[in-house]
Every structure is written in C-alpha cells, then in structure tokens.
Structure 1
Amino acid sequence: MPPLSPVSPVSPASVVAALRAAGCVFAEDEARLILSAARTPDEVAAMVDRRVEGLPLELVVGHAEFRGLRIALEPGVFVPRRRTEFLVEQALAHAPDASSVVVDLCCGSGAVGAALAAALGQVELHAADIDPAATRCARRNVAAYGGHVHTGDLFAALPGELRGRVDILAANVPYVPTDEVGLLPAEAREHEPLVALDGGADGLDVLREVAAAAPDWLAPGGCLLVETSERQLPSAVEAFKSAGLDTQVAYSEELYANVVIGVGAAGAVRS
C-alpha cells in the first residue's frame, strides 16, 4: 500500500489518528481519500471534522466509486452501495440484444443509470426520482451519456412517450421496513433521505407499485430489475408474478445482494 501523500502542513499521520479515534475501521484508506480530495489544509481539517461527526465518507469527499465510475454526490443524497453493482450486472446479463431505452427509477445519484449507459454504449437514458436533491445530483452523473433526468413520483415523472418502449427498467427502490429504519447505521439514518430508505410496513410498498405498473412501460421482452433483501424475496417474487412478469431471482454471495428480475410479454428470462 503506497504511503499517504501529505498536504502540508497537515500530517497524514494526524489525519489517520483522528479518524481512528473516531472509530473509522479503515482510517488509513479514508485518510488517503480525504487528502486526495482536499485542495487546502483547511479543507482537510473540515473534511476530517465532518467524517468524525459521522457523515458518510462518500459525502465528505463528494463522490463514490461505482463500477469503475466516479459518481458525484451531495449532502442529502443516497450513497450508492457496492452491492447494487450486482443489479447492474444482472441488467446487463438480461438486457435485450438491441437495448435502446434505459430507465433508472428511484435513481438517487444516477449511479445505476450511468453505469448501464457506460457499459451499453449508445442508449436513450432516463433517470427519475421524487427527491429534487437527488435529481440535481443525477444530472451531473448522467450528463456524459446524454441522460435525461426527471423529478416526480415513480412513473409519473417519466415522459408518456416512453410507455411501452423501455428495454431495461432498473428500480433501486427503498426496501427497509418502516420499523427497522431506526436500526440502520447512523450514517444512513442521520444523513440519507428517509424517502430513499423507508419502504413501508414490510419494506415492499414501492416495489409492489413499480412491479404493478412496469408492464405498461416495458417494451416487448423488456426487463424490470429490483434489489431487495433475502427475507423479502418470496413476497417480491409474488408481486412480480402478479403483474404478469416472467420472474426469476439472482443472488450474489460475495456482495450479499438479491435482485428480482422480471421480463415483460413476448420476452423470456435468460439463464
């Protein structure tokens, strides 16, 4: 591991010590990221203070790494999780051969849409979220791919012309049950928007709404993909099947990630 690059007169060792004292398990790695992101010693000090106060590291440095991309972040925006890279992998594996319209629903920072567009090449990309802070951030992240960003509640945010044309519909919906939001790590419950976490009584309110409406928006053979927890899988699969989607589940042991995949009429789930 290469040594930390000093930002004079701030000592890398002092940054590591401050982060370690605050309970940051990967203090040296975090210090390296802070030192590389800061432009002045005062910025280093401010970033360390924010991290010590519990702000997620990604929000401290202003970006997250996601499938090799640097995703710009702002305070109050959901931080993309590494496990969600599995949702992107499954979308790519199950995409129709001639994917042209991609929608990132509940887009947050737009990380999923950006990653899909980066991998697929020329696509018509749309990202949507109910939170204006999220869509403001998403615009920065999908601009390089010509992405269109919309603010509104689920499908109501999308242009009507997309109905029946969506090849990949990736929806990283909130799926934490309301009673369990308070059990989340402080970084999430104190610094990320509740609307991006709380999925209702059993965590599946938004998933059910998305699954029920998706067939009207999917192109023939188009694919809906949603991340959820292992214990929610049976109910999530039932919601997909009730909507008439040809459904399967994918699981990553490494990332502890679960993705429900549903293909619309005239399509078949690929194995």
Structure 2
Amino acid sequence: MNIFLDSKTEKSLINRLRSAGCVFAEEETQLLIAEAKSIEELLNLIEKRVSGFPLEYVLGFTKFCGIRIEIEQGVFIPRRRTEFLVQQAKVLTRPYDVVLDLCCGSGAVGAAIATVRKKILLHSVDIDLVAVRCASTNITKIGGQVYQGDLYAALPHSLRGQVNIIVANAPYVPTDSVELLPREARLYEPKVALDGGKDGLDLHRKVAEKALCWLASGGHLLIETSEMQGAQTFEIFVKAGLITKIVRDEELNATIVIGTKSG
C-alpha cells in the first residue's frame, strides 16, 4: 500500500524531523513514507524518530554494501566505513573458503561477503543474544550459521585450523570515550558493541591471540580499527605471530589491519 500525502503535509513532516536535528530530513521522510502501511503508522514512525530513536531502528533495516540488512532495536548498527572491511575481505576470499565473522552484530559483514562471494561457508558469532537473533535473520537465509558465545569459544572444534578468512568489527572505543559518542549510539546501541576496554583494544588482543589456532595455512585475519589505534593493533597482530599490514581508505575514514598466517 502506498501512502499519498499532499505536499503541505509532507513538508510539515520534513520540518518536524529537521527541527529534531535530522540532517537528512527529506531523505528520511521518504524512507518512512515508503515503509508505513497507513497514515497512523507513519505518524508513529515519525514520533519515534523525533524522540531520538536511530533511523535504522525505526525502519527495522539498513542498507549496507547495497543489500538490505534487518536491524533489531538493541543491535549495533553497521557503519558505512565498515564497507571497507568487506571490500578487503572480498579480495582475499575464494569459492568454498570458510569465513568467520566475529562480533557479528546484525551479521552485515558476513552477509555482504557471502552475497558477492558465492559458495563460501559462513560462520558468524556474537556474545549478545539479541544480536544473534538478528544475525540469524540475515545469515541463515543465505546458508550461514550463527553461534552465541565468546569469540572462538562458541565455535565447533572441527573448524580449528580450517578457517580461511576471519573478519571482526570488534568494539574499539576506549571506555572513557564512550560517553563522547554521538547521542544515538550512546543512548540506544548496546555498550558491549561499543566499549573496547581501557585503550579500546581488549577485543583485538583476544581475537588476534588465538587466530593462528583457527586459521588455515595462508589464512587471513582482518580487523577494523581507527587510524589513531592502527599502529597498536598492528603490533598486537605481530605479537600474535601474524604477517601484518595496514590498509586505509581516506574517503570512508576506514582503517583495516590484515594479518596472515604463514603457509
């Protein structure tokens, strides 16, 4: 059902969103109109957005790497810069590779890789039950498996030494900096998906520390980090025994550290 709004009403809704601080009020209004099944539902969606709810929670989905990713309230919302992580992983991924997405959140990274690189064997892990439920919606329909647990501990032992690609968008915000994040992230997204510990790199250490046990010979570990933390994550990878490099995309403000298990 398509809702018809006269130009005056539509402009009023746009102004309402703009007054609430929505920079892209016109685009958001069009998205909300497209999703609503009635005027009443549209007004309800507008009210949620005006109250501060992230747009992705209001809509119930986001677009990531050109595909639709279902989003539940309380799940980390994938950022556009993380598309660079997917781009780097796609270059290294071959048919029938085993791909592991750690700290998967909504499952967006694994789903985006699998959409382009067909025939991979995708495994996704998150410690948060809501994230696992949301990821299952996005992953199982493309043949992937989702596990709940703490990183590698959630995986079947049969995968040890068999993983070709590990991707991780693990939290890397230092604990003291979480309160400085944008309001939407700070108030609505799960802290477990944001807080990376005192220096922001606790999860990077845990992921890298056991990577060699799970990677196949010549396999790769890719982690998103910040430009400022890149050198530290690099050293963490080297200490873990990985052949390491840093790649950067200025346009997306994205930094990825890539480690390879020697073959």
Task: Please give the TM-score of this superposition, normalised by the length of structure 1.
Answer: 0.93
Specify the alignment match of 1:25 in structure 2.
Answer: 23
Partner of 2:250: 253
> Could you say which residue in structure 1 is the equivalent of 2:46?
48
Of 47-56 and 79-88, more deviation after overlay is shown by 47-56
The alpha carbon displacement at 1:91 in A equals 0.7
Residue 59 of structure 1, aligned match among 54, 57, 60: 57
C-alpha distance in 2, partners of 1:99/1:187?
39
Counterpart in the other structure of 2:154: 157
The amino acid across from 1:70 in the alignment is R
Q: Bigger shift: 32-41 or 109-118?
A: 32-41
Partner of 1:197: 194
- Following superposition, the deviation at residue 156 of structure 1 comes to 0.7
Residue 265 to residue 43, structure 1, CA distance change in 2 (3 Å): same
Measured in 2, the distance between the counterparts of 1:66 and 1:111 equals: 7
Check conservation: 1:99, 1:168, Cα contact below 8 A. no
How far residue 10 of structure 1 moved from its aligned partner, in angstroms, is 9.5
Partner deviation per Cα, 1:207-228 (whole Å, 9 max, x = no partner): 0110011111011111100000
Deviation string 1:5-40 (CA, Å, 9 cap, x unpaired) is 735899322211110110111100010111111111
1:126 aligns with 2:123: yes
Structure 1 counterpart of 2:142, from 136, 145, 155:
145
CA-CA distance at 1:265 after TM superposition = 2.2
CA distance in 2, matches of 1:207, 1:16: 42
**Contact (CA 8 Å) 1:125, 1:145: kept in 2 or not?**
no
SS of 2:139's equivalent in the other structure is helix
- The offset of 1:123, in angstroms, is 1.2
Q: Which residue number in structure 2 is paired with residue 269 of structure 1?
A: none
Q: CA deviation at 1:140?
A: 0.6
Pair 1:246–1:43, CA change in 2 (3 A) = same
Aligned length: 262
* Residue 130 of structure 2 is aligned to residue 169 of structure 1: no
Could you list the runs of 5+ residues in structure 2 that have no partner in the other structure? none
Contact 2:96 2:121 in 1 (8 A): no
CA distance in 1, matches of 2:193, 2:102: 12
Question: Offset of 1:99 from its aligned partner?
Answer: 4.7
Contact 2:98 2:122 in 1 (8 A): yes
State the alpha-carbon separation in 2 of the partners of residues 88 and 174 from structure 1: 17
CA contact (8 A) 1:77 1:133 kept: yes
Residue 10 of structure 1 contacts residue 41 of structure 1 at CA under 8 Å; is this kept in 2?
A: no
Amino acid at match of 1:144: K
For the residues of structure 1 that align with 2:227 and 2:153, how far apart are their CA atoms?
Answer: 29
Counterpart in the other structure of 2:207: 210
State the distance in 1 between where 2:135 and 2:149 align: 13
Tell me which amino acid in the other structure corresponds to 2:251.
E
Tell me, yes or no, if the aligned pair for 2:95 and 2:119 is still in contact at 8 Å.
no
The question of whether the paired residues in 1 share the 8 Å contact of 2:74 and 2:189 is answered with yes
Deviation of 1:94 after TM superposition, in Å, equals: 2.6
Q: SS where residue 170 of structure 2 aligns? A: coil
Match of 2:32 among 26, 31, 34: 34
Aligned to 1:72: 70
Structure 1 counterpart SS, 2:228? helix
Identity fraction in percent? 52
Q: Give the aligned partner of residue 241 of structure 1.
A: 238
Aligned to 1:11: 9
CA distance in 2, matches of 1:8, 1:39: 16
SS of match in other structure, 2:62:
strand
What is the RMSD computed on CA atoms of the aligned residues? 1.6
Letter in structure 2 aligned against 1:178 = T
Distance 2:123 2:5 in 1: 40
